[in-house]
Amino acid sequence: MAEENDPKRLGKAERDIVALGIATAAIILFVATGGAVLPDVWRSLWGQGDGPNLFLVNAMLLNIALVIFGWRRYNELTAEVSDRRIAEATAQKLAETDPLTECLNRRSLTQVTQDLCALSQNTGRPVAMIGIDVDNFKQINDMHGHATGDMALIEITKRLRKLLPDHASLARPGGDEFAVVMAYDQREENALEELTMRLCQGVNQRMNLNAVSIDTSISAGFATNCEIPGLYDAWIDAEALIHRADIAMYHSKKKGKNRFSVFEPSMGAELRIRNELEYGVRRGIEQQEFVPYYEQQVDIDSDELVGFEMLARWLSPEMGIVSPEIFIPIAEEIGVISSLSEQLMAQAFQDARSWDPSITLSVNISPVQMRDPWFSQKLLKLLVEHQFPPHRLEIEITESCVHDNLGMVRSMIASLRNQGVKVSLDDFGTGYASLSQLRTLEFDRLKIDRSFVSELSNVESDSKIIDAIVSLGNGLDMPITAEGIEDERVLDILRELGHFKGQGFHYGRPETSAEVSKRLEKLGKLCTDDNSAKLGRRKTVHDLKFDGEEKRAKG
Ligand code: C2E
Ligand code: MG
Ligand code: MG
């Protein structure tokens, strides 16, 4: 096979000596025989002579046939060779490039990087690599379909190409990843970092594809193969260079996406920890290591317990109890937030069924889930499966959701409210929800962010902010919850400012399901006819641990 594709053989075939030799010999013979036969033919036509020698006539005719055969064979061969050359060039292009964007593929990126790195040791010109990953590309595919996703990749390629110098190679090693590799002059290093920044800015412009507007951005990582700038014997190889650009790119992702980072050795350790966390979250979902904790919500005027906010905790076998501030962003990024949230909600509905029917349950929902067009259907299914009444459920969404896609958020809120579920705006005051957004989005409640509430007793201006939020809530007919109440003084100030539902460490830290049951039992608010034992709720690892601790304490 290799021999068949040997370009030398193709070249030989192109100049096929035998076919050409036959045609040439036939032409010479034709001239010779024709020279003898044709004068005799001419003379015999005028009635002179005996006519042409029959043997020579046959030889001449044979020559004519040979000339035609040789010429046709030669032409066919030349055409065949040119077809094969085109086919081989196409095959080579397919093997080296990505068919969608016509960028280099992973294999040829490695090859080009290896070649450049090998060369740089001789020339002293270092090699730079920029690792690029499109932010939230999965959402583009999920929301608008794969055809639009493909168009977005083509548009991103165009934008990158427009900004890159001619000697740079652009590759798409896979999915939504791109990479740029090029040799450069040491003195240009700053210019290259600026180029990386311009690539990020260039892609971060709205695209109009298939009649939809898509806002996209990229995270990039920059690395060079010269370990110590200016020291020409401190080169790293191609594999290490690709790895470093990847590490720097992941660093940008972790820092909030839509940015670029220059590789630093400490990033490697961070990435390892991050990978372990990602693996841990995936395994934790499988092993049901995530459990709901509950924070009390109290009517601050009557001091009556009116509900609980479910706050997720990860009972990691390696790290102990892990805060949602750590694992929720990871679950969002690796695309498992929906399954994690559904698992937690299922446990919470089961737990809350044994509470007094007057007690509500609030659940936090990630912006990623708000972008899922099936979210309200999925929620309804869960509610039905666990026979939990929708009117007892309150969904908390943060202000950042509101900016993502106002139209979609509006219809999601409407659909949830149609099911009887209440929707509140969490952490109000920390985002940028405008008054018009607040008016068009029909929230049932505003939750003032704890940063304003917990400092209430110290900072004069914060009471004015809360005062303003209270007026706003009254104007929009939205009740208000104050979170982060840590002491009696704050509570007193709040009581003066208006009527609130309150929550915070003053009322107690978030508790396990078992602790909540005990609390409600004391208050006479635990339903005995519908308790978790009768419902057959599977005891979680945490319940068992809690039961054990309790027995030890008693015993
Ligand atoms: P959040 O919804 O605003 O929840 C209130 C957070 O404030 C909780 O932190 C709670 O423990 C803390 N907190 C309550 N009272 C006080 C107080 O008096 N002082 C102070 N300093 N803090 C107080 P936590 O449990 O760490 O949750 C952090 C955030 O994680 C939550 O903020 C929520 O946005 C998110 N979260 C928690 N569970 C889930 C979940 O199941 N899904 C999603 N998507 N997000 C969740
Ligand atoms: Mg909340
Ligand atoms: Mg909050």
What is the distance in angstroms between the CA of the first residue and the CA of the last residue of the chain? Answer: 80
Q: How do strand 393-398 and strand 445-448 relate by DSSP bridges?
A: unpaired
CATH number (3.40.640.10, 3.90.1310.10, 3.40.50.1820, 3.30.70.270) of 106-264 reads 3.30.70.270
397/215 Cα distance (integer angstroms): 22
> Is the pLDDT at 260 greater than 90, yes or no?
yes
> Is the pLDDT at 165 greater than 70, yes or no?
yes
Q: Vertex 173, ends 261 and 255: CA angle to 5°?
A: 25
Whether 325 lines ligand 1, by a CB cut-off of 6 Å, is yes
- The pLDDT score that the predictor gives to residue 212 is 86
Altogether, the residues listed in the chain come to a count of 555
Whether 364 lines ligand 1, by a CB cut-off of 6 Å, is yes
Task: Output the residue whose Cα is nearest ligand 1's atom 15.
Answer: 504
| Residue 259 CA to ligand 1 centre (angstroms) | 27
| Residue 311 CA to ligand 1 centre (angstroms) | 6
- The pLDDT score that the predictor gives to residue 181 is 97
Q: Which atom of ligand 1 is nearest to the CA of 503?
A: 15
Q: What is the dihedral of CA 166, 168, 169, 170, to 10 degrees?
A: -90
According to the CATH classification, is domain 291-554 in 3.40.228.10? no
> Residue 268 has which token pair?
């490697």
Q: Is 193 helix (H, G, I), strand (E, B) or coil?
A: helix
| Residue 456 CA to ligand 3 centre (angstroms) | 16
Whether 98 lines ligand 1, by a CB cut-off of 6 Å, is no
Sheet holding 169-174, edge to edge: 169-174, 177-183, 127-134, 218-224, 260-262
Whether 450 lines ligand 1, by a CB cut-off of 6 Å, is yes
> Is the pLDDT at 45 greater than 90, yes or no?
no
Residue 378's pLDDT band (cuts 50, 70, 90):
very high
What does pTM read for this prediction? 0.66
Whether 496 lines ligand 1, by a CB cut-off of 6 Å, is no
Place of tokens 């539902």: 501
- Cβ–Cβ contacts within 10 Å for residue 128, how many? 24
Whether 454 lines ligand 1, by a CB cut-off of 6 Å, is yes
- The pLDDT score that the predictor gives to residue 510 is 98
Ligand nearest to the CA of 295: 1
Whether 477 lines ligand 1, by a CB cut-off of 6 Å, is no
Residue 15's pLDDT band (cuts 50, 70, 90):
low
Given a contact cutoff of 8 angstroms between Cβ atoms, the answer to whether 104 and 98 are in contact is: yes
Q: Which tops the pLDDT comparison, 126 or 45?
A: 126
Whether 449 lines ligand 1, by a CB cut-off of 6 Å, is no
Whether 451 lines ligand 1, by a CB cut-off of 6 Å, is no
Task: Output the residue whose Cα is nearest ligand 1's atom 21.
Answer: 484
Whether 344 lines ligand 1, by a CB cut-off of 6 Å, is yes
Instruction: Express each pLDDT in 122-151 by its tens digit.
Output: 888 899 999 999 998 988 888 888 999 999
Q: Which atom of ligand 1 is nearest to the CA of 293?
A: 25
Site to substitute for ligand 1 among 483, 490, 511, most atoms within 8 A of C-beta: 483
137/145 Cα distance (integer angstroms): 11
Q: Which of 33-37, 166-170, 326-330 has the lowest mean pLDDT?
A: 33-37
Using a pLDDT cut of 90, give the percent of the chain over it.
Answer: 54
Whether 323 lines ligand 1, by a CB cut-off of 6 Å, is yes
- Cβ–Cβ contacts within 10 Å for residue 472, how many? 15
- The pLDDT score that the predictor gives to residue 482 is 95
Most confident of 16-20, 261-265, 452-456: 261-265
Residues 6+ apart with CB under 8 A from 371: 139, 142, 143, 404, 405, 408
Mean pLDDT computed over every residue of the chain:
86
Q: Which tops the pLDDT comparison, 529 or 430?
A: 430
Residue 443's pLDDT band (cuts 50, 70, 90):
very high
Q: Pick from 192, 179, 187: which is nearest to 124 by CA?
A: 187
Whether 490 lines ligand 1, by a CB cut-off of 6 Å, is no
Diameter of the chain measured on Cα atoms: 141
Average pLDDT over residues 188-203: 90
475/441 Cα distance (integer angstroms): 14
Instruction: Express each pLDDT in 302-317 by its tens digit.
Output: 999 999 999 999 999 9
Task: Output the residue whose Cα is nearest ligand 1's atom 35.
Answer: 324
Q: Which of 28-37, 159-168, 366-375 has the lowest mean pLDDT?
A: 28-37
Q: Which atom of ligand 1 is nearest to the CA of 312?
A: 38
> Residue 130 has which token pair?
């920029």
DSSP secondary structure code for residue 188 in this structure? G
Cα 22 from chain centre: 64
| Residue 309 CA to ligand 3 centre (angstroms) | 10
| Residue 295 CA to ligand 2 centre (angstroms) | 10
Instruction: Write out the DSSP string of 358-395.
Output: T-EEEEE--HHHHT-TTHHHHHHHHHHHTT--GGGEEE
Ligand nearest to the CA of 427: 3
Whether 529 lines ligand 1, by a CB cut-off of 6 Å, is no
| Residue 380 CA to ligand 1 centre (angstroms) | 24
Residue 44's pLDDT band (cuts 50, 70, 90):
confident
Whether 312 lines ligand 1, by a CB cut-off of 6 Å, is yes
Q: One-letter amino acid identity for 86?
A: I
| Residue 450 CA to ligand 3 centre (angstroms) | 7
Q: Which tops the pLDDT comparison, 467 or 458?
A: 467
Q: Pick from 306, 132, 133: which is nearest to 222 by CA?
A: 132
454/446 Cα distance (integer angstroms): 17
Whether 366 lines ligand 1, by a CB cut-off of 6 Å, is yes
